[in-house]
Each structure stands twice: as structure tokens, then as C-alpha cells.
Amino acid sequence: MINMQNSLRTFGRRTLSQSRLLSKVKLTADKYQISRGDYATISETDRTELLSMVNGKGLEGIENLDGYNTDWMNTVRGQSSLVLRPQTTEQMSKILKYCNENKIAVNPQGGNTGLVGGSNPVFDEVIISTSLMNQVEDVDPVSGILVAQAGCVLDDLNQKLSDYKLMMPLDLGAKGSCQLGGNLSTNAGGLRLLRYGSLRGTVLGVEAVLADGTIIDALQTLRKDNTGYDLKQLFLGSEGTLGIITKASILCAPLPNSVNVAYVSLETFDHVREVFKAARSQLGEILSAFEFVDEDCLDTLKDNLSLEPPVDKTPFTVVIETHGSNRDHDQEKLELFLEYLMENEMIVNGTVAEDSKKVGDIWQLRERMAEALQHDGYVYKYDVSIPLKHFYDLVEDMRERLGDKALRCVGYGHVGDSNLHLNVTTSEYSEEVNNLIEPFIYEWVASKRGSISAEHGIGFKKTNYLHFSKSNEAIDQMKLLKNLFDPNNILNPYKVLPQ
Amino acid sequence: MINMQNSLRTFGRRTLSQSRLLSKVKLTADKYQISRGDYATISETDRTELLSMVNGKGLEGIENLDGYNTDWMNTVRGQSSLVLRPQTTEQMSKILKYCNENKIAVNPQGGNTGLVGGSNPVFDEVIISTSLMNQVEDVDPVSGILVAQAGCVLDDLNQKLSDYKLMMPLDLGAKGSCQLGGNLSTNAGGLRLLRYGSLRGTVLGVEAVLADGTIIDALQTLRKDNTGYDLKQLFLGSEGTLGIITKASILCAPLPNSVNVAYVSLETFDHVREVFKAARSQLGEILSAFEFVDEDCLDTLKDNLSLEPPVDKTPFTVVIETHGSNRDHDQEKLELFLEYLMENEMIVNGTVAEDSKKVGDIWQLRERMAEALQHDGYVYKYDVSIPLKHFYDLVEDMRERLGDKALRCVGYGHVGDSNLHLNVTTSEYSEEVNNLIEPFIYEWVASKRGSISAEHGIGFKKTNYLHFSKSNEAIDQMKLLKNLFDPNNILNPYKVLPQ
């Protein structure tokens, strides 16, 4: 089993000492200067009614809800005074029916590990947490299909699946806290999309509750099912604005018999590209991840987490992982591949890990990047898709643009998916720095026909930039769909669609 | 390259002698006794206008359009007197705008290889053929992403892609005629979904024209793009009822360095299941197809196409294919696997093919099944998903139910996807036999929580059975979506949704 080092972050599960700090986070409403929608303010009657629907499983009082109102990066803060924690689909249905009839806005929340402010309220939306919907309903060992409630934590699912020699087809840094429903509603990508494909293909069925409380049972557990429109796709990636996912069935991947990780250091990004091309050809079907970090990332890991790279650092580092069924074959492929890279002077140095401890140590250098950056103070996070030929140019252009106004400007991410994470840090939030980055970065990405959000979604923070990646006609259709599914606009308002 | 034997069928491209026969096919309107919708009948002015929009590239006269009005199996026949063959998206847009404003119903048609009457008109709908939209716009050798017009034939795309050591991520028997747009609008599955995943994951972008002529450019070419609702999914699998796909971008698979095919004969379906489980575990990441045919299939191939199996026949035959990057590794895995099957008495006999001629010969036995059955006269085709534990029971139950009223009742299909093709033949269409099969088969499948259409779609023939696989709430949402996208219901009427 790929028992990777689980990072120490526990997003959304803050300790008391942390939550005391949170109230310093600026209110989203003030920071972004937007107006509250025309929603009802919940009355005492509403509060009593709603809490009774979840058998009292709720939390009250804005002063107690910092961990729900604020994102883990301390960049947005809402003002909700009520969290509801339903345990069943029927409870979810009752809540939404009531809120829809009374025009009460709601904010669906999973593990609250999102990076674009999509999982926190903006004003006083009622938070509906899926945390108590955490039951695994079925694992079929022959087909490899899992059926589970939306609140299951990704890592917990992997634990359960390992008994069946299976694993989830997605993996991401936040796995210790993020929930299945959140993964699906943000169409999470992560580290191994390259190998196991996107959720659009691996999610076989979804149960979701619409704004008016209607339960849509599209919880098929079949690999092939062409019976009419594929409604579940509407709930994947729509970030809780068209319905709330309550259950899902997902095609899991077999747990590999053999896992190998190579860490290689390179001089230029051209070499990174060449090594990627060679990996696809020579490692072929066993290649499961191809990730990179730049030199500034290694410095951040050292400065902020005292993590040292296993070999001398160079401008670029690549982590290559293989998953396979035959250990001897996999090792032979990897050895031949690394020899080829050395002979052709594509890499400077490297090391290979086969045992799970060493595999975990190497993965830390990639997986704990988000955590490491957070120690600088404020992080401006961007997650873009750019064709590989322009991929790293953005980091260099941004670094030049920001000069000494930023503490750091680093690039890392999923080379195999053309997905760059560009991160800028300052000791505290600076509007000047923010304005230097945006909309410059979106214009830059759009000019290369990239995506302004590869995997993080639009959430709250990127709604005004949606048009850089979507045509006007497409945005019009999105608005029509939103109006069809949620005519009162109660589901996760201020998110995804431009105001 | 897996240069598989291309079957002789040329669906939708009939010779004159064949089309003379076609007029004997009963009109769909009579056979199914349904009423024409409230659409305009095209006037001479309409005809002139529409033909001018495609620069005269059309066909006129019901007597000349048998190949368009009728499906290749001779089971449905429409009465269209006009085929339009646009070459550009702009032409498609003009046609639809005009038809929508004048309430003229249209029938989008690709290669006309469908199996559920979805690609033929029911009454006098104007046929819009994508056949002349056959340009490949781009192949990116680094990312492996193809951008092409909807009318490209699947096999032609593979020819083109082979120059780049790439191949399409889907393969199906009709590849010599079926078109990309039709593949996408029916969400075609085929032989290698097991390995390369569904189109829901591999299609990265779509350009489509809505009923009112609006062009939706969602032609992204990025593996990761989470910017708002994934509109392209609405056009995949909706069989031309929500819009007409004009272009698509698709993530192609690397052409494998090594292809192996094993043909094994087995005594029972329990052995088929056991062999599948062993294949997934031992062949792992190189397994690319796992197909089966029953003994009656082998008889049909012999009787109707004079094709002989390579070893003595047994009740079940399985074709196992591997695609891999390293010939030695693949062959070693396959040899060890086959030894294991023999030692454990899971198979009776078998043969392995490595060169492309022998690989093609074996694949014929699976790929030409549809063609072989057609020679019996009339074919009642069913395409269902059933959990593997009940998989073959349906064929046995059906055989017993039909007794000597049918010529044959055979089962074959994609074991790896739990996808059974059940086919019944008679010398000519018999309502008695039809009524013995339906709705029995749908009730049977629904009782096992299967899908009444795994990959063929709903088309015209299965609309009344949709409820066996979709909940009422889901069908209600489908209707709302249809009304949103096509309020005049001009796009492929009488299809997908129940009347």
C-alpha cells in the first residue's frame, strides 16, 4: 500500500488556540465590498425548526463557528450563526425544502479544505455541513465499486478500501480532511489524474438533493449506462450551486502491488518537459504521477518546515511515481528509464524509493508545499492549466513583475496534467500585491488558451474572472441552468456565477 | 499497431442493390403507430433556403434517401425528403436557427450505425448529416490531444493518429463508418472502456450548436479545467436532443508498443468470472479488453460467415487483450497468467496471438457478431448492464422463454464492463416474439438493478422503457433540461424522452 506520509494539516478541524486567532480575518463582505442578496434573515422559529430537522445536531452562535465561517488559509470569513449537520438524505431534503420556501440562503460545506472561498458563507448563510453523513454503504470487491455518503473523509475511504485491495481513484494533499461530497462537487483532480482519470469518468452515480428538496437518485453502480441525460455530471464541479450531493458511487482502482518513487533534479524546465515525454513512452502504463517543484519551493520547505531534499538542489525537481502489478517488471522499467535520463544528461541527480517510509519522505516534499507556504503569512494561490510549452514562463514573468514586493513567488504542480500551482506570499494581505497579480495572471493564462482554474474551481474568489475561460454563450447557459435548478438562488450564493 | 480486421459492414453507405431492398422496410410510423408532432411541413421556399445555406450540398427526394431514412439493420424507416450536409459550424448554426424559427423538425445523423433508431427520422424530419464535416483540426503530439470535426470517421482518425503513435481511446465494431459526433452524442463505450475509460473523462471539449443556432464553444483542450458548469457533458449521450456537436477535443491514448490477444475456451460462466478476476489481478495495468461470446455465437459465425474458431468450441469463449509498453514484460505476464488458468483448470484450451494478422483473426470472432446475426433475417438487439453475478442468467432465461419461436438467442459482450449484448433472431420481424421479449427483458434487468441500455442509448426504440433505469424525478429533470435547451422540440424529436 502507498501509505504516504499524511501531512499534519487538519483543515476545518481547528484547535481552540487556532480559532482564537481567526477572528482577526477580515470579513469577506468588507474585504470584497459586496452586498448581501435579498434573502430572509433566520428567525428564532426558523432556527428551532431547522435544528429539529437534524435532531439537534447543529451548532449555534457566530462566536463558535470560526472554523466553519473561515477557510483554512484565513482569506475569507463569513458571518453564519447556524451550522446544521444532517445525517440522512431525508434530513437534507427537509432542510432545503424549508429554506427554499422561506428564501433562506445556504452554504454547503464538506471538509472546508477549498482554496477559492467556495465552502464558506459570505454573509449569514446557514451552513449545511456533511460531516455526519459519513457512512460507507457498500464496497463490491468484484467490480471495485464503492457507495458512500458525501461526508466520508478521503483518507478514511482509502483505509476502508485497503481491506479489499482497492483505493480511491483520486488523491490530494487535503486527503486527511477533505470529504467525498466536496471532492465531487469541486471535481477535484489531484496527484494521479494522469493515471486514473478524472471524476467525470470514475464517478458512476450520484444522489443529490435539489434546492426545493427533491431527491435525485442517480446512484447507478454500473460502468456503462446510457439511459438518457447524465444528470450526475451537473452536480460534479458545480460547487454546490445546483444541488447538494448526498451519496456517490465511484469506481475504485486496484491497490498496486508495487509502488516506486523517483526523485530527480534538473537544470531547466526544458529538461522537465523532455523527461515527461520520456516517462510517458518508457514507463507507459505504470506511470501514476509526474509532479514538479521549483528551487524556491525547496527553500520554502527548508525555511518553514525544516524539510531537506535528498540530493543537492537544482532549479527544478521532479517526483515520478509508478503503480504496477509486477514488482520486477516495474523496477526494471524504472531503472532503464533513469539510466536513459542520466546517459542523455537530462537530469543532474536522483534517488529512488521503494519502501513506504522513503516513498513518504519524498512525497512530503511535494505534498506539504501548501502547508509550508502558509507559514510565510498570506498566500495568493493560483491554480491554472497552461500548455506545457509555456508552462513555467508564467512563474518567471510573475516573479519579474512582483520584484521585491513579494516574499516568494513559487511554482509547483502536476506537469502530467499541464496544471501549474503558482503561489505568491507576503507577510500579510496586501492589496497592492493582489492588484499586481490580478487580473494580469488571468489575462496571461487566457492569452495561452489555458484555464484560470484547473482544479480548485471558481468558488467565491474567481467569479469575476470566469469570462477568461468561458465564452459569453457558455456563461449564459450556466445562468439558465442555475435558474432552472435553483430559481430562488438559495444554494451557495455569490459563488461560481458572476454577480 | 493494433491493425484489427475491419469488418465488411459499411453502415449507412449502401450500394444500389441494397437500397432497392430497403423500401420493403416497414415505416416506423406504421410499425410503432405513433403520431407526427405539430411541426411545419417544409415548403419549396424552405427547401431552397436550406439548400442554399449548405451551398447546394444536400440530397433531395424520399426515393433517393433510403440509406438515410433507414437504419442498417432495416428495423426503422423514416420519410424525410431532404438531407443537408453542412461543412462548417456556421452553416450548422444557420440551418438550426432557420428550422427553429420555422418549427421544422430535424434529425442529426452521423455514420447511421446506431442500434436504437436514434439516427433516423421518424416522419419527415430534415436530416442533417455531419458527413462532410470531416476535418482534423489539430493533433498535439506532446499532450496527445486531437481536435476534429464531428463527421470524422473513427477509423480515419485512428489512421491519422497512428502517425503520432496515438490512437483513439474508444474502439467499436462500427469503426469503419461511425463518426466522432455520433460516438460522442451516444456516449459510445465499446471494446476498451475497461482500460481507457469512458468518453465522459476522455472528451476534453466540445463545440455544439443549440436549437436556436447559438454556438457553444466549450472546445477546451486541457486535462484539467474547473471553470464553472461542464456544459459539454450535456451534449455527450443526449443523442442530439439538446444540441448538435460540431467539433470535439479528445485525449488520445498512446499506441501500445506491444499488443497480445489470448483466446481461451471455458466450460461455464462461473469460469468466465473467475478468469476475469484473475486477469485484473495478474495482467493489471496492461489488460485492455475482456470480451466473451457463447457457443451459439460461434455457431452463428460458422453458419453465416464461415468463420471457424481456432480451437475446439466449448460453451464459452473469452478474448483477452493486453496493451503495453514493453513486449517482454507483457508476454511474461500473459504466459504466467495462462499457465495459472490451465493449472487451476479454469480454462479448457487457448491460443495466443502476437502478430497483427493473427490478432485480427481472433478479433473477428468477436467484432463480426453483429454482422453474422444479421444474416438470419431480423435481429432483436438488446444491450444491458447486469451485475456479473447474474450476468448470463438472462440469456438462459430468455432462451427458455422463447423456446423454438426464435432462430437463435445468443449472448456476447464486454464482461469487463458488465455489459451484455443479448440478441434474438427470427427470419422476419415477429410481433409475437417482440412481445415475448419486451417488456420482460427490461423488468428482468431492472430487478437486478441493471441498465436497460448500457451503451446503445435510448434512441427511438427504448423511450417507453426509460423508467426502468431512471427515477421519475430524474425523468422530470430531463424534460426540464430538454425544454430549456430546445423549447420548440425540433432536435431529434420522438427520441430519448418518453412521448
Which chain B residues touch A333 with a CB distance below 8 Å? 325-326, 329
Residue A255 has pLDDT above 80, yes or no: yes
pLDDT band at A355 (very low <50, low <70, confident <90, very high): confident
Nearest CB to A224; choose among B193, B215, B257: B193
Q: What pLDDT digit, counting tens, does each position of B155-178 carry? A: 999 999 999 999 999 999 899 999
Backbone dihedral angles phi then psi of residue A206, each to the nearest 5 degrees = -145, 140
Q: Please provide the average confidence, as pLDDT, over all residues in chain B.
A: 93
A332/B217 Cβ within 8 A: no
By the 10 Å C-beta count (0-12 exposed, 13-18 middle, 19+ buried), A161 is classed as buried
Taking residues B370-375, report their average pLDDT. 94
Distance, in angstroms, between B44 CA and closest chain A CA? 33
Angle, alpha carbons A425-A429-A433 (nearest 5°): 65
Nearest CB to A325; choose among B285, B454, B475: B285
Residue B20 has pLDDT above 50, yes or no: no
For residue A245, give Cα distances in angstroms to A217, A459, B476, B478.
10, 16, 18, 18
Q: What b-and-e string marks burial along B183-217, b requiring 16 or more CB atoms within 10 Å of the CB?
A: bbbbbbbbbbbbbbbbbbbbbbbbbbbbbbbbbbb
Residue A103 has pLDDT above 60, yes or no: yes
B451/A226 Cβ within 8 A: yes
pLDDT band at B23 (very low <50, low <70, confident <90, very high): low
Residue B15 has pLDDT above 90, yes or no: no
Share of chain B above pLDDT 70, in %: 95
Distance CA B45, CA B47 (A): 5
Nearest CB to B324; choose among A202, A285, A418: A285
- Do A5 and A307 meet the contact criterion of CB atoms below 8 Å apart? no
Q: What b-and-e string marks burial along B326-353, b requiring 16 or more CB atoms within 10 Å of the CB?
A: beebbbebbeebbeebeeeebbbbbebb
Residue B7 has pLDDT above 80, yes or no: no
- Do B203 and B232 meet the contact criterion of CB atoms below 8 Å apart? yes
Distance, in angstroms, between B494 CA and closest chain A CA? 13
A234/B187 Cβ within 8 A: no
Residue A19 has pLDDT above 50, yes or no: no
pLDDT band at A5 (very low <50, low <70, confident <90, very high): very low
pLDDT band at A2 (very low <50, low <70, confident <90, very high): very low
Distance CA B295, CA B288 (A): 23
Which chain B residues touch A139 with a CB distance below 8 Å? none
Distance, in angstroms, between A14 CA and closest chain B CA? 28
Kindly report which listed range (A19-33, B256-270, B283-297, B324-338) carries the lowest average pLDDT score. A19-33
Distance CA A84, CA A94 (A): 12
- Do A335 and A273 meet the contact criterion of CB atoms below 8 Å apart? no
Ordered structural domains, chain A, with CATH: 22-129 (3.30.43.10), 136-254 (3.30.465.10), 258-370 (3.30.70.2190), 376-485 (3.30.70.2740)
Beta strands in B295-398 (DSSP E): 316-324, 349-353, 378-385
B227/A452 Cβ within 8 A: yes
Q: What pLDDT digit, counting tens, does each position of B395-440 carry? A: 999 999 999 999 999 999 999 899 999 999 999 999 999 999 999 9
Cβ-based neighbour number of residue A101 at 10 Å: 12
pLDDT band at A15 (very low <50, low <70, confident <90, very high): very low
3-state helix, strand, coil split of chain A in percent (to 5) is 40, 20, 40
Residue carrying the nine cell digits 531537506: A308
Distance CA B220, CA B229 (A): 13
Nearest CB to A226; choose among B216, B281, B455: B455
- C-alpha cell of residue B427: 427470419
Nearest Cα to B22, choosing from B54, B58, B63?
Answer: B63
Which DSSP symbol is given to B332? Answer: H
pLDDT band at A30 (very low <50, low <70, confident <90, very high): very high
Q: What pLDDT digit, counting tens, does each position of B228-285 carry? A: 999 999 999 999 999 999 999 999 999 999 999 999 999 999 999 999 999 998 999 9
B418/A477 Cβ within 8 A: no
Nearest Cα to B387, choosing from B306, B273, B471, B280?
Answer: B273
Which chain B residues touch A461 with a CB distance below 8 Å? none
Which DSSP symbol is given to A309? Answer: -
**Where is pLDDT greater, at A455 or B3?**
A455
- C-alpha cell of residue A6: 499524511
Residue carrying the nine cell digits 521549483: A294
Backbone dihedral angles phi then psi of residue A369, each to the nearest 5 degrees = -60, -45
Q: What b-and-e string marks burial along A263-291, b requiring 16 or more CB atoms within 10 Å of the CB?
A: bbbbeebebbbbbbeebbebbbbbbbbbb
Single pTM value for the model: 0.94
- ipTM above 0.90? yes
Give the pLDDT confidence score for residue B195 in this predicted structure: 95
| CA-CA-CA-CA dihedral for A15, A16, A17, A22, to nearest 10 | 90
Give the pLDDT confidence score for residue A428 in this predicted structure: 94
Distance, in angstroms, between A407 CA and closest chain B CA? 28
Which chain B residues touch A225 with a CB distance below 8 Å? 385, 451, 453-454, 469
Residue B181 has pLDDT above 60, yes or no: yes
- Do A266 and A316 meet the contact criterion of CB atoms below 8 Å apart? yes
Q: Please provide the average confidence, as pLDDT, over all residues in chain A.
A: 93
Taking residues A392-403, report their average pLDDT. 98
Which chain B residues touch A226 with a CB distance below 8 Å? 186-187, 189, 237, 451, 453-458
Which DSSP symbol is given to A405? Answer: G
Distance, in angstroms, between A202 CA and closest chain B CA? 8
Give the pLDDT confidence score for residue A84 in this predicted structure: 98
Q: What pLDDT digit, counting tens, does each position of A161-198 carry? A: 999 999 999 999 899 999 999 999 999 998 999 999 99
User: H-type helices in B78-163, by residue range?
Assistant: 89-101, 154-162
B285/A324 Cβ within 8 A: yes
- C-alpha cell of residue B204: 476534453
pLDDT band at A23 (very low <50, low <70, confident <90, very high): low
Tell me, what amino acid is at A6?
Answer: N
Q: B39: which residues sit within 8 A by CB, 6+ positions away? A: B103, B104, B105, B123, B125, B490, B493
Which chain B residues touch A414 with a CB distance below 8 Å? 224
B216/A473 Cβ within 8 A: yes
Which chain A residues touch B473 with a CB distance below 8 Å? 214-217
Mutation target vs A (from B206, B223, B269; most A CBs, 10 A cutoff): B223
Taking residues A401-414, report their average pLDDT. 97
Share of chain A above pLDDT 90, in %: 91
Distance CA B303, CA B31 (A): 30
Distance CA A348, CA B386 (A): 53
Give the pLDDT confidence score for residue A32 in this predicted structure: 94
Element (H, E) at B326: none
Residue A11 has pLDDT above 60, yes or no: no
Nearest CB to A229; choose among B387, B414, B478: B478
Residue A18 has pLDDT above 70, yes or no: no
Taking residues B55-77, report their average pLDDT. 96
